[in-house]
Amino acid sequence: MEEQPQSLRALFGDAESKRKELENSYDSNSATFQRNLMSAIATYEECLKVADRVSLFSPNETLEDVSSGDIQYMLIHFHVAELVQRINGGDRKANLLGARRSYDNFLKLLDSYDMLSKSDAKLYERYLEAPNSFSTASTTDAAARRETKIARFREEKAMKAKLEHLRQNPAAFQNDEDALRQLQLTNIALSVHMTFQALESLAMELQILALAPPPGQPSASSALKDERQRGKQSDGYSERLDQPLSRLTAGGMAGPILSADGKPLRPFTLLGNRQRFQEGVFRPDHSLPTMSIDEYLEEERKRGGIIEGGGEQSGIRPEPNEDDFDKADEETMKARAWDEFVEENPKGAGNTMNRG
């Protein structure tokens, strides 16, 4: 009897190391990951067999009767359920139902030891009443559902922070049994919180799988496709307008376009008014340019809209001729007249509205 608990401790340690290794792996679709996953599940299931064989947990006990080192074994069902959910391939519905059974066993064990809080006990009762439609929040009131989700998120965050704080000094657990017990109970409380979230997710996924057709029954679209294919094989008619090249080269281009009942016999192109109407419909909704930029500039140049060369219109002042004394005197008189005008009319002389 003394060797079996030791064997359980060794098996549980091996299973925990395998589970933590899987948590650090990101390629969950690889064959190696799935093999390690099945190995971890098998090790946890062996732990359950050993725990049942030694009667580790009894319905006649209370939580005070369970030692601090044995509390961690209450999480075996929870870890099995988590791992089963990550199985790829096979019967997905069977895997989900197996995970839900493990979650059931986990909650049932905690309930027998009265370890569920008041809020978790209410959720457990709600789950037992309708496991297939279980939800942690209201499904009719969006505001109440949002508030419940926010509250549960804050609870989960607080429990994770507390658990991380307790794990910062692992050496203290070797000499302080109360600290170890508090760590185990906090871990179980967080696992219960995650269990109800997983049960809600399982219920939604099972509802979706219930709407899918059985594996042996073809879907409506595939059945319709098969029926069309059988019709094509019976009368040789195909809905394709682009016939195979073998039929086109074997004289298929000759003969009428349509059969007596209006079925197309060979490819053809619509011409005439319909083609013109189609080109008028499928066109841009804006006016496209009718000439390039170079063509536009050339047209403006012909119309005289572009100024080239010198002259007064170009704004280029010609160089003064130093030998043209008459032009120089004219410019001098014009400058003197402008200076006299400026002296007689100082700046602001015409603004009489704002004078005090």
Q: Which pLDDT does position 2 carry in this prediction?
A: 41
Which pLDDT tens digit goes with each residue over 287-330?
767 788 888 888 888 888 777 665 555 566 667 677 777 888 88
Q: How far apart are CA 257 and CA 268, in angstroms?
A: 7
pLDDT band for position 40 (50/70/90)?
Answer: very high
- Which of 138, 283, 241, 121 lies closest to 189, judged by CA? 121
Cα angle: 171, vertex 174, 177; to 5 degrees: 125
pLDDT band for position 3 (50/70/90)?
Answer: very low
Q: Which pLDDT does position 5 carry in this prediction?
A: 47
CB 109 within 8 A of CB 98: no
Provide the residue type at 91 as one letter: D
Q: Which pLDDT does position 8 carry in this prediction?
A: 87
pLDDT band for position 74 (50/70/90)?
Answer: very high
Query: 317 in helix, strand or coil?
Result: coil
Q: How far apart are CA 50 and CA 6, in angstroms?
A: 10
Q: Which pLDDT does position 310 carry in this prediction?
A: 57
Position 79 pLDDT exceeds 70: yes
Position 4 pLDDT exceeds 80: no
Question: Burial level of 323, CB count in 10 A (0-12/13-18/19+)?
Answer: exposed
Average pLDDT, the chain: 79
Which pLDDT tens digit goes with each residue over 203-250?
999 989 888 776 655 555 565 566 666 655 555 555 555 555 555 554
Position 168 pLDDT exceeds 80: no
Q: How far apart are CA 149 and CA 335, in angstroms?
A: 87
